[in-house]
Structure 1
């Protein structure tokens, strides 16, 4: 594995701010473990590892802003050695020039220093790395507070929260920043005056969205196909099923929309993947359905349901609830922000009857669902009132044409009649 770098969490991301480390040097990590929290223009994102290994050193400190690709840590796979620093190419020092006594000190410094300084070796953060050193307050000794992140400890002190009473949601029960925020204790004057780390800056988020969408419209030749679909049977089926479920387990119409889009992407895989200017279109092996989520106070993120093709309707609903909760708490993961293969956006139960969305690069399609509408509909030889939804498919014309997009909408319409289709 070697050098662990600042990942790119969006097509227009140039840098990120390290908020907190969730691991210490010497600690073992597994694939999928969250090791750090990074703040971007779209909020705080949990950063995962994609291989198992051991943390050799942490070379970036909380609070640092790092460019995409900048080293953050050294994480070694089993049997792997730490990368040696590059040797310094230092030419032989030049002979000391003749000097007066007043110049002697400066001349000596010039002749003993190398012409170019060697590259700095990665350094550990100044904070104590050992877990035992984290137990700063006596009240925390012997509890999971010993596994609290530095940012969580800082916020807990500001809010007067006893970490001994919190249950951590991080790796190994570690208490995260979001756990402290969720504790709901009153803020002190200092906390009121200074936002907690990882708080979303809505102005910056709007800038990020503007940059990404402007790039999308400049570089992707969009075209759009729309179809209005009868969802009376689907709506009635969900109402009957939900009457037997507890409120927390009920399935919303939006989950059926996402499920149908996933089934359509499996049937027409030419719209499921990424486009690269150099390599062209790369079809994805699985469907990672991006779900557009409106954040409280404004802003939008579209994290992905990873491998959504393996989820039935109930699991899709559960996954969406989880994404929405973590998106609004600032606990999304980098894999969810970067691995989406097609995005679904829905206006909800009320509002405009159609929407034509802008594709999230490097994806090549977006499925937009308008709000369901009741309208006259021809069934057999009769005109009857039916619940319908208008679906608009935004497509990258470099990858597909009207025929492929039409096949996708036909597959989606079929799936909306039976969303449990495997």
Structure 2
């Protein structure tokens, strides 16, 4: 038997609130299934399980706030027998389907998604859709209680059984609490500056070639398929990490733990204040179009409080981009247990020497803050030089 515990969804998290169970005793689950929604200062996080088996006992009620590490449920392995008979549900584990986000604007990469799309498609989990079809119920007539107002399986069952409670559910905060989030970030950053021996490097990059290529590429595309400027640095950063892998990983128990997967945490400013840095997974293995699609989806869900637990726990390095704010440069603080963070500033026109003559060029300041326990300035310089070189051949990214 395995325990499903309240996860630590970041160095600044000490407790979480159970918003919803997406399974019940007797349900079969497999690694990667979303089984609960946990509310933190960073919003409602769809929380996955990493065990295979059957749900045994649910130990925490919806609305309860418990510390990280608290056992939320028991999971019975395939070779174990439940202590009591439970009815196995044929419903598939729920994983909320986000509505296709609207086209991003240059000043706002991903607007908040609507609960219902223009076509009338209601936001709901796959299991809820399946059950509503079986029962002949219209999703549009069911009030959703899931994150972002999504219709869940329990909502459909409650309507079908005529047991919709008259009393509201336990009051659970939606979205995020900017004040609590700021305190959590401050605690994590104070710990980082105290424990991690940072070193800092920076370089100025001529962005003429990347900008020209991007403009020509986007001119050939439909508006909905155009690439945002951030996509190129994301892919170049991921490929550069292949050459300097010690910057991609975690420092735990006095040793570096390098990881093969390159999951870049993208710092996203939230409306109303606050910041999250969820992971964009396997960036080095994806095309620019795939990176663009995933980035749009990640920003949309981050700002509507619909992130997954894996996106909060497995970023192996972070990218913070201050270009949209007008700031020319940033030297970030490492988010533990990561060992590096890359910062990008605004692209500004500066005098640049080309073939012995001075001419105006679009220039971007790129910085690296890294942990001196696992790398040094020489390796950091190789990373930044590789990053710059890759940006100069955007067609190869």
CA RMSD across the alignment? 3.0
2:321 aligns with 346
3-state secondary structure, aligned to 2:332: coil
Post-superposition shift, 1:382? Answer: 2.4
Query: Alpha carbons of 1:80 and 1:176: their partners in 2 closer, same or farther (altered >3 Å)?
Result: farther
Unaligned runs of 5+ in 2: 97-119, 131-143, 152-166
1:398 aligns with 2:367: no
- Check if 1:61 corresponds to 2:37: no
Correspondence for 1:324: 299
Corresponding residue of 1:240: 216
The TM-score normalised by the length of structure 1 is 0.75
Offset of residue 362 of structure 1: 0.4
Structure 2 CA distance for partners of 1:148 and 1:219, relative to 1, 3 Å: closer
Aligned to 1:212: 188
Q: How does 1:192-203 map to 2 (within 5 A)?
A: 197-203=173-179
Paired residue for 2:106? none
Question: How far is 1:52 from its partner?
Answer: 2.8
Change (3 A) 1:343 1:365: same
* Distance (whole Å) between structure 1 residues aligned to residue 125 and residue 222 of structure 2: 25
Once the two structures are superposed, what CA deviation does each residue of 1:356-390 show, in whole Å capped at 9, x if it has no partner? 11111000100000011111211212222211110
Q: 1:168 aligns with which of 99, 124, 139?
A: 124
**Residue aligned with 2:364, SS:** strand
Aligned residue in 1 for 2:16: 16
CA–CA distance in 2 between the matches of 1:7 and 1:210?
20
Runs of 4 or more, structure 1, over 6 Å off, are: 129-132
Asked if structure 2 preserves the Cα contact closer than 8 Å seen for 1:18 and 1:39, the reply is yes
Which of the pair has more CA radius of gyration? Answer: 1
Q: Is the 8 A contact 1:18 1:64 kept in 2?
A: yes
1:322 to partner: Cα distance = 0.9
Unaligned stretches of 5+ residues in structure 1:
85-122, 124-128, 133-143, 150-163, 183-189
Cα-to-partner distance string for 1:191-219 (whole Å, 9 max, x where unaligned) = 9xx98643211111111111111111111
Partner of 2:389: 414
TM-aligned CA deviation for residue 279 of structure 1: 3.7
SS in 1 for 2:60: coil
CA contact under 8 A between 2:175 and 2:304: conserved in structure 1?
no
C-alpha contact (below 8 Å) 2:270/2:276 kept by paired residues: yes
Shift of 1:395: 0.8
TM-score (norm 2): 0.79
Q: Is the 8 A contact 1:367 1:394 kept in 2?
A: yes
2:309 matched residue in structure 1: 334
Distance 1:11 1:166, change over 3 A: same
Q: Which has the higher contact order (CA 8 A, sep 6+)?
A: 2
- Number of positions where the alignment pairs a residue of Structure 1 with one of Structure 2: 343
**Matched-pair contact (CA < 8 Å) for 1:376–1:384:** yes
Instruction: Give the drift of 1:56.
Output: 1.9
Instruction: Assess if the C-alpha contact under 8 Å between 2:340 and 2:369 holds in 1.
Output: yes
Which shows bigger deviation, 356-365 or 69-78? 69-78
Give the 3-state SS of the residue equivalent to 1:274 in structure 2. Answer: strand
* Contact preservation (8 Å) 1:349, 1:372: no
* Residue 407 of structure 1: how far off its partner (Å): 0.5
Q: How far does the alpha carbon of each residue in 1:40-70 deviate from its partner, in whole angstroms, 9 at most, with x for none?
A: 1222111001233221221111111112111
Structure 2: distance between partners of 1:74 and 1:282: 29
Q: CA 1:17–1:178 in 2, change beyond 3 Å: closer, same or farther?
A: closer
2:329 is the alignment partner of 1:373: no
